[in-house]
C-alpha cells in the first residue's frame, strides 16, 4: 500500500509580500485615497469622451445614441463624484444633466447656443479637475461661473428648488404652481441631496415638506440657514399639514404653506413675494 505524503502548504515568510496581500492589509482610508486618485486620473479621459459625444451630436452623427451615452456619462460622473467626496463635480454634473435634458433631447428642436453652452460646462469641468489635482478646496470661482451659466441658459430669472417625489399629489400641485409663476424649478428627491446642491449651486428659494424621509423640513431649513454664505438670499418655503413649529425665530422658514384647500393659491402668493424681492 503506497504511503500518502501530505504536502505542507503553509507558505514560508520570504519577506516578499504579493500585491494582493498588500491590498488586503490596506486600511479603509488608504483604499479610499487610492480610489479617489484613480478617479482623478481617469477624469480627463471621461471628459474627452463627453466632448467626442457632443461633437458627434453637433455634426448629426447617430444623434440619439450619442445623446443617451452623453447623459449616462454625466450621470455616472455625478454619482461617483459624490461617492469620493468631490461634491463640486456632482454639482456641475447635476446642472449639466438638467441642461442636456432640456436643450439637447430633441434633435429637431435645438436652441441656437445649446452646443456652445454645453461646451462651457465641459470647460468648467476641466478647470475643476485642475483645482482638485492641486488639492485646492476654493471653488468660489467655479460656483460663480456655474451661477452665471445657469442664468444665461435659462429663460427664467428666478431659480427654485423643490424637495420631494414628483408623483406625490402635493408635488404635482407645486410643479403646476411653478409653471404658472414662470419659475424654473429643479426637483430633488431627497432633502440631503437638496442640501448638498445648495452648497455649490445658486438657488433663489427652496420648497420643502415638513415631513421628509431622510431629513425633516425644519432640519433642512436650519442647515441651509446655518451654512449660507454671506450675501446669499436663499428664501425657504415649508409645506405642512401641521402648523405647529417650535424652531427658534432665526431658523424658521420664510413662508409656511398649509396643505389645505388654499394650498396652491398660498404657495403662489409666497413665490410671488419672493419674485418681488428680486426685482
What percentage of residues in the chain have a pLDDT greater than 90? 33
pLDDT tens across 168-216, in order?
Answer: 788 888 888 988 887 878 888 889 888 888 887 888 899 999 888 888 8
pLDDT confidence of residue 9: 44
User: How far apart are alpha carbons 103 and 67 in whole angstroms?
Assistant: 11
Q: Domain boundaries in the chain?
A: 27-154, 156-279
Residue-wise DSSP of 189-230: S-HHHHHHHHHHS--SEEEEESS-SSS-HHHHHHHHHHHPPT
* Global confidence as pTM: 0.61
Highest averaged pLDDT of the listed ranges 33-47, 118-132, 165-179, 237-251: 118-132
Under 8 Å between Cβ of 202 and 150: yes
Q: Which residues in 23-56 are b (16+ Cβ under 10 Å) and which e?
A: eeeeeeeeeeeeeeeebeeebeebbeebeebbeb
Model confidence pLDDT, tens digit, residues 19-56: 445 445 678 878 878 888 898 999 999 999 999 999 99
Return the pLDDT at 131: 92
> What's the pLDDT score for residue 116?
93
In this chain, the answer to whether the domains covering 27-154 and 156-279 adopt an identical fold is: no
Grid cell listed for 112? 441656437
| Alpha carbon distance, N-terminus to C-terminus of the chain | 100
Grid cell in block for residue 42: 481617469
The pLDDT value recorded for residue 93 is: 92
Task: Report whether 258 contacts 266 (CB < 8 A).
Answer: yes
User: Mean pLDDT, the chain, as a whole number?
Assistant: 83
Under the banding of pLDDT at 50, 70 and 90, the label for residue 245 is low
- Note whether 211 and 240 are within 8 A (CB): yes
Q: Given a cut of 80, is residue 88 above it in pLDDT?
A: yes
Fold of 27-154: 1.20.120
Pick the CATH number of 156-279 from 3.50.40.10, 3.40.50.2300, 3.90.950.10, 3.40.50.300: 3.40.50.2300
Amino acid at each position: 500500500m503506497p504511503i500518502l505524503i501530505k504536502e505542507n502548504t503553509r507558505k514560508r515568510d520570504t519577506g516578499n509580500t504579493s500585491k494582493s496581500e498588500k491590498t488586503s492589509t490596506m486600511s479603509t482610508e488608504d483604499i479610499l485615497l487610492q480610489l479617489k486618485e484613480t478617479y482623478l486620473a481617469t477624469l480627463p479621459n471621461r471628459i474627452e469622451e463627453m466632448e467626442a459625444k457632443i461633437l458627434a451630436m453637433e455634426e448629426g452623427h447617430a444623434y440619439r445614441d450619442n445623446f443617451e451615452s452623453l447623459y449616462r456619462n454625466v450621470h455616472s460622473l455625478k454619482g461617483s463624484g459624490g461617492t469620493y467626496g468631490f461634491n463640486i463635480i456632482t454639482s456641475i454634473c447635476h446642472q449639466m444633466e438638467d441642461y442636456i435634458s432640456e436643450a439637447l433631447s430633441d434633435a429637431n428642436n435645438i436652441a441656437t447656443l445649446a452646443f456652445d453652452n454645453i461646451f462651457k460646462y465641459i470647460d468648467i469641468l476641466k478647470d475643476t479637475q485642475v483645482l482638485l489635482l492641486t488639492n485646492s478646496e476654493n471653488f468660489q470661482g467655479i460656483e460663480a461661473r456655474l451661477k452665471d451659466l445657469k442664468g444665461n441658459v435659462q429663460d427664467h430669472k428666478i431659480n427654485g428648488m423643490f424637495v420631494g417625489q414628483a408623483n406625490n399629489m402635493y408635488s404635482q400641485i407645486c410643479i403646476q404652481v411653478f409653471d404658472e409663476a414662470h419659475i424654473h424649478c429643479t426637483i430633488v428627491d431627497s432633502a440631503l441631496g437638496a442640501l448638498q446642491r445648495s452648497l455649490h449651486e445658486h438657488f433663489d428659494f427652496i420648497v420643502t415638506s415638513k415631513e421628509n424621509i431622510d431629513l425633516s423640513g425644519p432640519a433642512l431649513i436650519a442647515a441651509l440657514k446655518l451654512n449660507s454664505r454671506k450675501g446669499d438670499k436663499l428664501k425657504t418655503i415649508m409645506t405642512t399639514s401641521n402648523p405647529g413649529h417650535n424652531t427658534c425665530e432665526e431658523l424658521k422658514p420664510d413662508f409656511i404653506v398649509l396643505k389645505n384647500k388654499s394650498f396652491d393659491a398660498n404657495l403662489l402668493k409666497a413665490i410671488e413675494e419672493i419674485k418681488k424681492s428680486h426685482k
